[in-house]
Amino acid sequence: MIIEKTDRWIPSTAPVTITEMGEIHEVQYIAKENHDPFIRKISKDQYINRKTGEICDFNHSENRGENLNSLRQTFKKLRYLINNNFSGKRNELWITLTYAKKRTRSENRCQRFQTIHAAVDLFLSENLWGSQRNL
pLDDT digits (tens, 9 = 90+) for 53-90: 999 999 888 887 788 888 899 999 998 988 888 877 77
Q: How far apart are CA 108 and CA 113, in angstroms?
A: 9
Q: How far apart are CA 68 and CA 24, in angstroms?
A: 26
Predicted confidence (pLDDT) at residue 133 exceeds the cutoff of 60: no
Instruction: Please report the DSSP string for 51-108 in residue order.
Output: TT--EEE----SSGGG-HHHHHHHHHHHHHHHHHH----TT--------SS-----TT
How many helices, marked H, and strands, marked E, lie in the chain? 2, 5
pTM of the model: 0.56
